[in-house]
């Protein structure tokens, strides 16, 4: 998949265009993915919905709330095997059972947003998924 995404995104520097392409490709690449998308940093301590695939997402999420906010605030990937056990989880969809959220950094460590992937299966994501998604985000966004 990394090779295909590299070919699709080669030379593109627009963050939203890159997010749209990645959300589409990732969402359709894995049956575990029920909702796949980005939340963008649009103001201090605030995420707004970006390109996504799946049902409606939350429009905005403060860094102080939920799995996405935690990933942004702590600047580290969140692997949540059971969203009901995560303190402060925001239920954008009642179907979500597990979640992985990866911070997205541009050049110089600038936080661009987070990649959020929800699954309707419990315990759907592993540390291998996290490492792969982190590497992919660095490959695509790391020089912007």
Per residue in 116-128, pLDDT tens? 999 999 999 999 9
For residue range 39-66, list pLDDT tens digits in order.
999 999 999 999 999 999 999 999 999 9
Find where tokens 């707004």 sit.
48
Cβ contacts of 29 within 8 Å, gap of 6 or more: 1
For residue range 87-137, list pLDDT tens digits in order.
888 877 788 999 999 999 999 999 999 999 999 999 999 999 999 999 999
The secondary structure of residue 125, as a DSSP letter, is: -
Going along the chain from its start, the domains and CATH numbers come out as: 2-141 (3.30.450.40)
Query: What pLDDT is attached to residue 103?
Result: 98
> How many Å from the N-terminal Cα to the C-terminal Cα in the chain?
21
Q: Give the CB-side neighbour count of residue 42, counting CA atoms within 13 A.
A: 12
Q: Is this prediction's pTM over 0.75?
A: yes
Q: Give pairs for 31-36: CB < 8 Å, separation 24+.
A: 32/119, 32/121, 32/124, 32/125, 33/117, 33/118, 33/119, 34/93, 34/95, 34/96, 34/118, 34/119, 34/120, 35/92, 35/93, 35/96, 35/116, 35/117, 35/118, 36/115, 36/116, 36/117, 36/118
């Amino acid at each position: 998949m990394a090779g295909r995404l590299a070919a699709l995104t080669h030379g593109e520097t627009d963050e939203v265009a890159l997010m749209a392409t990645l959300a589409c490709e990732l969402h359709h690449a894995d049956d575990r993915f029920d909702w796949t998308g980005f939340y963008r940093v649009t103001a201090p301590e605030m995420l707004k919905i970006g390109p996504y695939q799946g049902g409606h997402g939350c429009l905005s999420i403060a860094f102080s709330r939920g799995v996405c906010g935690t990933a942004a605030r702590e600047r580290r990937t969140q692997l949540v095997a059971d969203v009901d056990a995560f303190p402060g989880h925001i239920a954008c969809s009642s179907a979500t059972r597990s979640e992985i959220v990866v911070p997205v950094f541009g050049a110089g460590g600038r936080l661009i947003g987070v990649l959020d992937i929800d699954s309707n299966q419990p315990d759907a994501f592993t540390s291998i998924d996290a490492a792969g998604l982190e590497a992919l985000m660095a490959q695509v966004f790391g020089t912007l």
